[in-house]
Chain A
Amino acid sequence: MSSYILKKSCTRSSLILSQNAALKFPLIAHLFSSLSQSQDANSTSAYNFLEKNTAGFPLFSHVRSKIPSGSRWKFVPSEFVRLFSSQAAVEPSTSDGLTVEGIINKQWPILGESESDWKSHASSIAQSVHLIKKRLQWKKLKVRLGILSAQLEKPDLWDDPVHAGKISREHGSLLGKMKEVNSIEQELLEHIDMIKLAREENDQELESESIKALLTMRKGVKEKELEALLAGEHDSSSCFIEVQAGAGGTESMDWAAMVIKMYEVWAQQRGYKVTVVDEMPGEMAGIKRATIKVDGQYAFGYAKAEVGVHRLVRISPFDSGKRRHTSFAAVAVIPILGDGSSRVQINESDLRIERMRAGGAGGQHVNTTESAVRITHIPTGISASCQNERSQHQNMASAMSVLQSRLDQLEMARQAQMNSRHTQSLTDISWGNQIRTFVLHPYRMVKDLRTNYEVSDPDSVLEGDLDGFILSFLSAHWIKRKTSCNLS
Chain B
Amino acid sequence: MKLSLTRTSLSSILAPLLCNSHPSHRPISSLSVSHRPTSLTPETTPLFLRPPTSSASLSDLLKFRNWAETLSSSAGASFSAQDNGPDTHLLLRELTWLLEDALENPKTLAYCNPSAVSNDLLVSLRTDLEELYTLWKQRIDERRPFQYIVGCEHWRDLVLGVREGVLIPRPETEQVVELVSDAIKGNDELGDGLWADLGTGSGAIAIGIARILRDRGMVIATDLSPVAVEVASFNVQRYNLQDKVVIRQGSWFGPLKEAEGDLVGIVSNPPYIPTEHINGLQAEVKHEPRLALDGGTDGIGDLLYLCNGAVSMLKPGGFFAFETNGEKQCKFLLDYMETKVKGSFNDINIVSDFAGIQRFVTGFRTR
B262 within 8 A of A: no
Question: Interface size (A, Cβ < 8 Å)?
Answer: 30
How many Å lie between the Cα of A353 and that of B167 in the bound state? 26
Distance to closest chain B CB from A473 (angstroms): 25
How many Å lie between the Cα of A392 and that of B154 in the bound state? 9
Choose one: B89, B146, B285, B325; the contact of A281 (CB below 8 Å). Answer: B89
Q: Do residues B354 and A367 form an inter-chain contact, with CB atoms below 8 A?
A: no
Across chains A and B, which 4 residue pairs bring their CB atoms closest together, nearest first?
A: A390-B154, A358-B355, A392-B171, A367-B284
Q: Do residues A361 and B325 form an inter-chain contact, with CB atoms below 8 A?
A: yes
Q: Which residues of A contact B156 (CB under 8 A)?
A: 391-394
Binding site for A on B (CB under 8 A): 84, 86, 89-90, 93-94, 97, 111, 113, 145-147, 153-158, 167-168, 170-174, 269, 271-273, 277, 281-282, 284-285, 287-288, 292-293, 323-326, 353-357, 359
A366 within 8 A of B: yes
A369 within 8 A of B: yes
Contacts A363-B172, A369-B146 supplied; 4 other A-B pairs, CB < 8 Å: A360-B84, A363-B353, A367-B145, A367-B284
Q: Which residues of B contact A463 (CB under 8 A)?
A: 113
Q: Which residues of B contact A358 (CB under 8 A)?
A: 354-355
Q: Which residues of B contact A354 (CB under 8 A)?
A: 354-356
Q: Do residues B170 and A363 form an inter-chain contact, with CB atoms below 8 A?
A: yes
Q: 8 Å CB contacts to B: which residues of A342-392?
A: 353-355, 358-371, 373, 388-392
Q: Which residues of B contact A353 (CB under 8 A)?
A: 354
Q: Which of A268, A353, A370 has the most CB of B within 10 A?
A: A370
A265 within 8 A of B: yes
Q: Which residues of A contact B324 (CB under 8 A)?
A: 363
How many Å lie between the Cα of A390 and that of B159 in the bound state? 9
Known contacts: A355-B353, A391-B171, A394-B154. The answer to whether A365 contacts B97 by CB under 8 A is no
Q: Do residues B154 and A365 form an inter-chain contact, with CB atoms below 8 A?
A: no
Q: Do residues A363 and B154 form an inter-chain contact, with CB atoms below 8 A?
A: no
Q: Which residues of B contact A391 (CB under 8 A)?
A: 153-158, 171, 174
What is the chain A residue whose CB lies nearest that of B173?
A363
What is the chain A residue whose CB lies nearest that of B325?
A363
What is the chain B residue whose CB lies nearest that of A390?
B154
Known contacts: A355-B355, A366-B282, A367-B145. The answer to whether A388 contacts B93 by CB under 8 A is yes
Q: Do residues B271 and A364 form an inter-chain contact, with CB atoms below 8 A?
A: yes
What is the chain B residue whose CB lies nearest that of A280?
B89
Choose one: A364, A365, A371, A394; the contact of B157 (CB below 8 Å). Answer: A394
How many Å lie between the Cα of A281 and that of B90 in the bound state? 11
Q: Which residues of B contact A355 (CB under 8 A)?
A: 171, 353-356
Q: Which residues of A contact B97 (CB under 8 A)?
A: 369, 390
Known contacts: A355-B353, A359-B84. The answer to whether A366 contacts B157 by CB under 8 A is no
Distance to closest chain A CB from B184 (angstroms): 17
Q: Do residues A393 and B174 form an inter-chain contact, with CB atoms below 8 A?
A: yes
Q: Do residues B154 and A389 form an inter-chain contact, with CB atoms below 8 A?
A: yes
How many Å lie between the Cα of A281 and that of B92 in the bound state? 11
What is the chain B residue whose CB lies nearest that of A370?
B90
Choose one: A360, A364, A394; the contact of B272 (CB below 8 Å). Answer: A364
Q: Which residues of B contact A361 (CB under 8 A)?
A: 325-326, 357
Q: Which residues of A contact B89 (CB under 8 A)?
A: 281
What is the chain A residue whose CB lies nearest that of B96?
A388
Distance to closest chain A CB from B23 (angstroms): 21
Q: Which residues of B contact A281 (CB under 8 A)?
A: 89
What is the chain B residue whose CB lies nearest that of A367?
B284
What is the chain B residue whose CB lies nearest that of A360?
B84
Q: Which residues of B contact A360 (CB under 8 A)?
A: 84
Choose one: A264, A365, A367, A368; the contact of B277 (CB below 8 Å). Answer: A365
Distance to closest chain A CB from B366 (angstroms): 28
Q: Which residues of A contact B354 (CB under 8 A)?
A: 353-355, 358, 373, 392
What is the chain B residue whose CB lies nearest that of A373?
B354
What is the chain B residue whose CB lies nearest that of A464?
B111
How many Å lie between the Cα of A365 and that of B326 in the bound state? 11
Q: Which residues of A contact B153 (CB under 8 A)?
A: 391
Q: Do residues A369 and B93 form an inter-chain contact, with CB atoms below 8 A?
A: yes
Q: Which residues of B contact A388 (CB under 8 A)?
A: 93
Known contacts: A281-B89, A369-B90. The answer to whether A364 contacts B171 by CB under 8 A is no
Q: Do residues A363 and B326 form an inter-chain contact, with CB atoms below 8 A?
A: yes
How many Å lie between the Cα of A264 and that of B112 in the bound state? 12
Q: Do residues A393 and B157 form an inter-chain contact, with CB atoms below 8 A?
A: yes
How many Å lie between the Cα of A370 and that of B93 in the bound state? 9
How many Å lie between the Cα of A264 and that of B107 in the bound state? 12
Q: Which residues of A contact B145 (CB under 8 A)?
A: 367
Q: Do residues B281 and A369 form an inter-chain contact, with CB atoms below 8 A?
A: no
What is the chain B residue whose CB lies nearest that of A354?
B354
Q: Which residues of B contact A363 (CB under 8 A)?
A: 170, 172-173, 272, 323-326, 353, 357, 359
Distance to closest chain B CB from A100 (angstroms): 40
Distance to closest chain B CB from A369 (angstroms): 5
Q: 8 Å CB contacts to B: which residues of A383-424?
A: 388-394
Distance to closest chain A CB from B330 (angstroms): 11
Known contacts: A393-B156, A393-B174. The answer to whether A365 contacts B93 by CB under 8 A is no
Q: Which residues of A contact B154 (CB under 8 A)?
A: 389-391, 394
